[in-house]
Amino acid sequence: MKRNLLCAAASLMLAITVTSCNQESQEMTETPPMNDNPLLQEWTGPYGGVPAFDKMNVADVKDAMVTGMELHLHEIDSIANSEEPATFENTIEEMERAGSALDLAYTYYGIFSGNMSSPEFREVESELAPLLSEYRSKITQNTALFQRIKAVYGASQEKPLPADQQRVLDLTYKSFEMSGAELDAAKMERYAAINKELSSLYTDFSNNVLHDEENYITFLTEDQLGGLSEGFIKSAAKMAVDNGKEGTYAITNTRSSMDPFLTYSTERALRQQVWSNFYSRGDNGDEYDNNAIIAEILRLRKERVALMGYSNYAAWRLQNRMAKTPENAMNLMEAVWKASTARVAEEVADMQALADEEGAGITIETWDYRFYAEKVRVDKYDLNSDEVKQYLQMDKLTEAMHYVAGRLFDFEFTPLPEGTVPVYQEDVRVWEVTNKNTGENVGLWYLDPYARPGKRSGAWANTYRSYTTFDGKKNVLASNNSNFIEPAPGEALLVSWDDATTFFHEFGHALHFFASNVKYPTLNSGVRDYTEFQSQLLERWLSTDAVIENFLVHSETGEPMPAELIAKIKKASTFNQGFSTTEYLGSAIMDMKLHLADPTDIDVDAFERKTLMEMNMPKELPMRHRTPHFSHVFSGEGYATAYYGYMWADVLTSDASEAFAEAPDGFYDKALADKAVKYLFAPRNAIDPAEAYRLFRGRDAKIDALMRDRGFPVPE
């Protein structure tokens, strides 16, 4: 999320689904009344005001959202119907200022949707989806409003504005143009109708995935725990109690539960069952099946962009991304695909040889990959992931992230005593963030670490309030959200190296929020194939000597990780890159091909199978996200035809990491860190991403560093 809710029309088009309509600006003679709904009240208390999470109630959500939309639309009408000649100040700046009430309401809506969903909220969410679509239509297709924007934009072509104002104006104008602002009335009407349909389909898709995550749980008996660690067993026992099955052990249908089970369980049949549950989410042929929904989404997306003359959805979507065209994105992915699948063949051969040597009498299947990859890791590198896990405590990793933030950004994180500010769930912890040189408050960091019913799977970062200096400086309220399995009482939460990397990744997003130094809310928006760069870059500090030596200590003895184990980790840094790269690229390429295909009579399941076969997808591993539960792409439009962006950003990450590796003081070189903050973090979207990277690196990024990082041959 960019401007908390992305309510301002300019921000809206850059990050989420945009709708349209043929409705002219509505005449409103009176401002809709603000009511006493607690979700609409200005935030009070310390730190510039904080959300009243202690006053959240599902019963207040719909009223708050509807009132917030009405108030924002009134503000937009006032701008659109102004009799004064259009200027940047009375049009663009007023648009930046509008929507504050809805921003407040949407913060709570986002928490209910992502962190605390319930059957009651899902009903409200479904009711609000078409209303939100109509509301957005009345902004992005407001003819009078667009004419004012267009007038300001035209004047700026003759006499450019100051750089930050020109950037806001350019982004705003482009967002309206991409939303069909130039369409005739009939096409605008159809455009709006399509988006109203899509808004409901996205909600249905998300709710179906959440249903399957909550309702497909594998319960184990004590004799089915072979290979599992003591800590995992205790967590599984607690999860079983939470699900009303005391005396058993629950493997929930989430990645954080599935992944370690498939890595360590010696029960092959159960591995297959857990694997099938996870990769069949949204694809079980019942009322929660997503295949028909996806087909309709694809048809509607293509029809909508065809109204503006685009041949496919991908061409429309990528025009304002770094890649610019689907061809450029595909060229990058295909350049890596051949090397990654070749590496998979090598990895499978190693695993099959080990299974044959053990006399297992099996052929490696998808539910065997993690299990035998771990065996190969131990055999080839004498590196046991469970041994490494003993040094990866969530609390110590949190300290490590704060240490890195202090060294690179001059941020200091101080935990707040419980009760200092309201939280929406008892497990949420809060830190104050200050500039350690000046003592000035930067904001608050909220951490919601544990999985629970109603919380969407995965890990993500959010902002409740973004930094701006427009109408007075606003400090940042940001959160990180994970789905770690809560440990048993008194036990340390131990995580895998991959989970620790993800923890650092999401914290990188939070640091991007905290480092922001922009005036206008719109400039906090992101470019999808660039916005993952900063977070992927921060992952690299997990394996720096300072972090390993000071924070990766044994959960029982407190002893630092021994040098020989550190050496093994670094030696095995490119291990299993075939798996991780190929499962990701499979999803990214599928995303692009689905949106380049003719969706007229598409059979989504058949298309997925046929496309994977044409890609020569290794049969021993699945895509990271199969199409029926690919929430990045089908629960909204943020990552639609943009999942490739992780790879695009990783090219930048690898290239920038080599700059740090070559710096006099390595990854903690202060001069280079300051340069990274100045050009890569602080500007957010105030500078074109390609130009920002050139200012940091002195040149464009090259793919060579990415290939070296993954142990793949560097193309000549």
Share of the chain above pLDDT 70, in %: 95
Kindly compute the dihedral angle of the four CA atoms of residues 498, 500, 505, 510, in this order, to the nearest 10 degrees. 160
- What 3 state SS string does 361-419 have? CCCCCHHHHHHHHHHHHHHHHCCCHHHHHCCCEHHHHHHHHHHHHHHHHCEEEEECCCC
Q: What is the pLDDT of residue 35?
A: 80
Per the listing, tokens 């005449």 go with 27
Mean pLDDT of 49-77: 97
- Per-residue pLDDT, averaged over 395-404, amounts to 98
For the residues 12-22, what does the mean pLDDT come to? 30
Question: If residue 131 lies in a helix (H) or strand (E), which one and from where to where?
Answer: helix 119-140
Other Cβ atoms closer than 10 A to 402: 20
pLDDT value of residue 679: 98
The H-assigned helical ranges of 216-286 are 230-242, 255-264, 268-279
- 70 has a pLDDT exceeding 70: yes
Residues 567-597 pLDDT 10s: 999 889 899 999 999 999 999 999 999 999 9
Contact 92, 149 (CB under 8 A): yes
Tell me how far apart the terminal alpha carbons of the chain are, to the nearest angstrom: 40
Q: Does domain 9-209 have CATH number 3.40.50.800?
A: no
Question: 24-28, 86-90, 375-379: which has the minimum mean pLDDT?
Answer: 24-28
Length of the chain (residues): 716
Tell me what percent of the chain is helix, strand and coil, each rounded to the nearest 5: 60, 5, 35
User: Which pLDDT tens digit goes with each residue over 297-312?
Assistant: 999 999 999 999 999 9
Interstrand relation of 460-465 and 476-484 (parallel, antiparallel or unpaired)? antiparallel
pLDDT confidence band for 12 (50 / 70 / 90): very low
Distance CA 220, CA 669 (A): 50
pLDDT value of position 32: 67
Name the band, by pLDDT with cuts 50, 70 and 90, for residue 31. low
Residue 440 scores a pLDDT above 70 = yes
Q: Say what the pLDDT of residue 527 is.
A: 87
> What would you measure as the largest C-alpha separation in the chain, in angstroms?
84
Eight-state DSSP code of residue 560: B
The arithmetic mean of pLDDT across residues 637-665, rounded, is: 96
Up-side HSE of residue 632: CA atoms within 13 Å toward CB? 22
Average pLDDT over the chain reads 93
Predicted pLDDT of residue 25: 32
Tokens of 607: 């298309």
Q: Is the pLDDT of residue 413 over 60?
A: yes
Whether the pLDDT of residue 438 is over 70: the answer is yes
Location of each CATH 1.10.1370.40 domain in the chain: 9-209
Question: What percent of the chain is predicted at pLDDT more than 90?
Answer: 91
Q: How confident is the model at residue 7 (pLDDT cuts 50, 70, 90)?
A: very low
Q: Which of 570, 550, 572 is nearest to 561 (CA)?
A: 550
What is the average pLDDT across 610-636? 96
pLDDT tens per residue across span 518-548 = 999 999 998 888 999 999 999 999 999 999 9
d(CA 389, CA 367): 22
Give the pLDDT score at 715. 83
Residue 199 has pLDDT above 60, yes or no: yes
**Mean pLDDT value of segment 662-691:** 97
Give the pLDDT of residue 30. Answer: 60
Q: Which two tokens stand for residue 238?
A: 């607690």
